[in-house]
Amino acid sequence: MAAEVGQFALILALLLATVQAGATLWGAHRRESVLMALGRSAAALQAGFVILAFACLAYGYVVCDFSLALVAEHSHTAQPLPYRFAATWGSHEGSMLLWVLILAVYGGGVALFGRTLRETLQARVLGVQGLIGVAFLAFILFTSNPFLRLDPAPIEGTELNPLLQDPGLVSHPPMLYLGYVGFSVAFSFAMAALIEGRVDAAWARWVRPWVLAAWIPLTIGITLGSLWAYYELGWGGWWFWDPVENASLMPWLLGTALLHSALVLERRGALVSWTILLAILTFSLSLVGTFLVRSGVLTSVHAFAVDPRRGVFILAIIGVTTGAALGLYGWRAPSIRSGALFQPLSREGGVILNNLFLCVLCATVFLGTFTPLFAELTGDKISVGPPYYSWVFAPFAVPLLALLVFGPMLNWKRDELAKTVARVRVPAGIAALVFLLVAVFAGLGHAVAAAGLALAAWLLAGSAAILVRRWWSGRAYLGRSILTTPRALVGLAIAHAGLGLLTLGITGVTSWHQDKVLNMRPGATTTFAGRTLTMTALEDVQGPNWQARQARFSVRGPGGTYELVSQRRFYPSAQQQTTEAGIHVTPLGNLYLSEGDESAEGVVIRLWSHPLVVWIWIGGFTMALGGAVSLSDRRLRVGALVKAPQLQPVAAE
């Protein structure tokens, strides 16, 4: 019954999305308030019905309704409850429904909370959102219906891939989708601006928080994904440059560029048409990322069954969405005037340089991901893997990180070189000191590692310097100066410091990682990376839906004595084997141990030492935290603006 309700709710949502798009766009064109109000209600109602449809599917999973084909394919009664629920988005159809759910909720958000916007602008944003909704609801209903029934219903379902039965599945996809789909709002704002042919203060003030609201979960999602792969895949890699990973990195890179250019637009009214272009491209890359990996175009052997009909549908959606947007851009953008003037050496100039580097990095990932496809058109077969990225990505990423400290030190509009350099002399001194210390203690053979650590120190000290500089200028009233520091500035410092931590982690693990593989028996001892490991037991254990061969170790090392356990699990109903690595995490480095095959010589044990690796994820989460702090500032400021008449943002129509 629930499935039929869900199916019906989806059909209603499609109709409502059509009404939403039609009523708002026509209403805005004719300036009919009634029509625009109708569109707003449709957007809110559409969100309600998609939530209902999603709830129906989730209910089917939770109660194990195997008469639903999708549930029977991805769930099992022995599967623990959180994973039965998370399995809702563990399939192609379910993840599409989650995608549309988030889109509808964002649309509903614009309808309900966008009252401070000019009515026609809000209506046009909702109209574009409605059109995207129509496309994807139709995609779900016509090619990927999640509510198909099985008759007769099987008594038991097929278990979800055991690798996916992990807290990672519960949190990673929703975060990633919040990010991808969140960029649709910036896209809709860009489209509305192009339709209107004008950009006003309210537009500028709305875009950045929405970009930030998408960028934060995307950052968290990518970081969670990296962390999940690290502990679950069983060999301790944290980034693989796989097409599916690149698909999330590309919108992140452009989204980061957009975040910065939107800042210039918000503060100075400059970079208008560039920001619009970035908003279009960021969401387009989200679409390409989410969907092209499902169409079978790329050699990413993935779990979702490839259906050529889906591929064509998806390509059509991308073609129409991005094609229409870029066409409209080519037509209308030349007439949108950009306001404020600035000198090359200024905060604005810094952001432009930041955008250039981020776009080049995004282009690098794009070329790496799609060149195999382009080469195939000429009949050639090539692979682009990690060695390419270390040759081409890194040389552009490092200068960006090095220049990044200068950005927030620059004044808006114009600045002087000598003064700018003087402002960063303390971070530069700290970085030089770190370089010398590492080079002296680790030897000149570690010059690259020393440079990496110096870069991390430069970023961390540079971030601290942003706050110190502000507090120092108000040192007469230090307490008040600290309290009144805008949260956006604090957020900026935190996010940039996150990059410093990320650099620290990457440098540590790439410069000093070690590995070792050997056969061991219970009682055997080995030394590795300054630690002594003794296998204390090799035993069988039983879990809720798995059996495992478990190896236990006692480890003596710099951090004292601790136990480490690795399992090789077998999931009988899924007929699959997985490895649960034993990982000892410390700020200085992880010991990673995974159990392999058993033979007459004992059991294969693989050991990895990953120095400083944990800072990679701490850095990622810190960046997201910085975004969140900055976003909390915006909300206050939007409220404050309404009270401040001299900054009244809404142009009288």
- Write out the binding residues for other proteins, residues 117-156 only, by CB under 8 A: none
- For other proteins, the binding residues in 88-117 under the rule CB under 8 A are 89-90, 95
Choosing from 167, 443, 486, 530, the residue that interacts with other proteins (CB under 8 A) is 486
Burial 304-336 (b: 16+ CB within 10 A, else e): beeeeebbebbeebbeebbeebeebbeebbeeb
Choosing from 11, 428, 489, 650, the residue that interacts with other proteins (CB under 8 A) is 489
- For other proteins, the binding residues in 342-381 under the rule CB under 8 A are 342-344, 349, 352-353, 356-357, 359-361, 363-364, 367-368, 370-378, 380-381
What minimum distance in Å lies between the beta carbon of 265 and other proteins?
Answer: 8
Q: What is the token pair recorded at 500?
A: 């410093």
Choosing from 323, 530, 558, 639, the residue that interacts with other proteins (CB under 8 A) is 323
- Tallying the residues shown for the chain, one arrives at 653
Q: Which stretch binds other proteins (CB under 8 A): 387-395, 444-452, 540-548, 620-628?
A: 387-395
Burial 221-255 (b: 16+ CB within 10 A, else e): bbbbbbbbbbbbbbebebbebbbbbbbbbbbbbbb
Choosing from 109, 386, 543, 559, the residue that interacts with other proteins (CB under 8 A) is 386
- For other proteins, the binding residues in 157-196 under the rule CB under 8 A are 161, 163-164, 168-169, 172-173, 176-177
Q: Which stretch binds other proteins (CB under 8 A): 6-14, 110-118, 290-298, 617-625?
A: 290-298
> Which residues, at least 6 apart from 145, have a Cβ–Cβ distance to it below 8 Å?
7, 93
What minimum distance in Å lies between the beta carbon of 246 and other proteins?
Answer: 9
Choosing from 71, 232, 493, 553, the residue that interacts with other proteins (CB under 8 A) is 232
Q: Does 412 bind other proteins (CB under 8 A)?
A: yes
Q: Does 463 bind other proteins (CB under 8 A)?
A: no
DSSP class per residue in 435-490 = HHHHHHHH-GGGHHHHHHHHHHHHHHHHHHHHHHHHHHHTGGGHHHHHHTS-HHHH
Q: Which is nearer to other proteins, 99 or 615 (CB)?
A: 99
Sheet harboring 582-584: ordered strands across?
A: 514-520, 602-611, 589-599, 582-584
Q: What is the DSSP letter of 547?
A: E
- For other proteins, the binding residues in 491-520 under the rule CB under 8 A are 517-519
- Please state the φ and ψ torsions of residue 101, each to the nearest 5 degrees: -60, -50
What minimum distance in Å lies between the beta carbon of 376 and other proteins?
Answer: 6
C-alpha 501/C-alpha 630 separation (Å) is 19
- For other proteins, the binding residues in 246-265 under the rule CB under 8 A are 247-248
Q: How many residues bind other proteins (CB under 8 A)?
A: 141
492: exposed, middle or buried (Cβ count in 10 Å: 0-12, 13-18, 19+): buried
Q: Which stretch binds other proteins (CB under 8 A): 128-136, 310-318, 428-436, 610-618?
A: 310-318
What minimum distance in Å lies between the beta carbon of 62 and other proteins?
Answer: 20
Q: Which is nearer to other proteins, 49 or 203 (CB)?
A: 203
Q: Which is nearer to other proteins, 11 or 353 (CB)?
A: 353
Q: What is the token pair recorded at 83?
A: 């994973």
Q: Which stretch binds other proteins (CB under 8 A): 21-29, 50-58, 147-155, 222-230?
A: 222-230
Q: Which is nearer to other proteins, 148 or 312 (CB)?
A: 312
Asked if 607 and 528 touch (Cβ cutoff 8 Å), the reply is yes
Q: Which is nearer to other proteins, 503 or 567 (CB)?
A: 567
What minimum distance in Å lies between the beta carbon of 614 and other proteins?
Answer: 18
What minimum distance in Å lies between the beta carbon of 285 and other proteins?
Answer: 11
Q: Which is nearer to other proteins, 7 or 295 (CB)?
A: 295
Q: Is the peptide bond before 558 cis (omega within 30 degrees of 0)?
A: no
Q: Does 525 bind other proteins (CB under 8 A)?
A: no
- For other proteins, the binding residues in 631-650 under the rule CB under 8 A are 637, 647, 649
Asked if 489 and 467 touch (Cβ cutoff 8 Å), the reply is yes
C-alpha 220/C-alpha 373 separation (Å) is 30
- For other proteins, the binding residues in 564-623 under the rule CB under 8 A are 568, 576-579, 594, 596-597, 601, 604, 606
Lay out the site mask for other proteins across 16-55 (x = CB under 8 A, - = otherwise).
Answer: ----------------------------------------
C-alpha 124/C-alpha 21 separation (Å) is 8
Parallel, antiparallel or unpaired: strands 576-580 and 560-571:
antiparallel
Cross-strand pairs, 6:
none
C-alpha 435/C-alpha 448 separation (Å) is 10
Choosing from 80, 82, 387, 429, the residue that interacts with other proteins (CB under 8 A) is 387
Lay out the site mask for other proteins across 527-556 (x = CB under 8 A, - = otherwise).
Answer: ------------------------------
Q: Which is nearer to other proteins, 370 or 621 (CB)?
A: 370
Choosing from 40, 268, 423, 549, the residue that interacts with other proteins (CB under 8 A) is 268
C-alpha 346/C-alpha 430 separation (Å) is 25
Sheet harboring 531-542: ordered strands across?
A: 525-528, 531-542, 547-557, 560-571, 576-580
C-alpha 269/C-alpha 348 separation (Å) is 10
> Which residues, at least 6 apart from 642, have a Cβ–Cβ distance to it below 8 Å?
116
Choosing from 53, 72, 384, 583, the residue that interacts with other proteins (CB under 8 A) is 384
Choosing from 55, 105, 150, 315, the residue that interacts with other proteins (CB under 8 A) is 315
Q: Which is nearer to other proteins, 68 or 265 (CB)?
A: 265
C-alpha 519/C-alpha 101 separation (Å) is 50
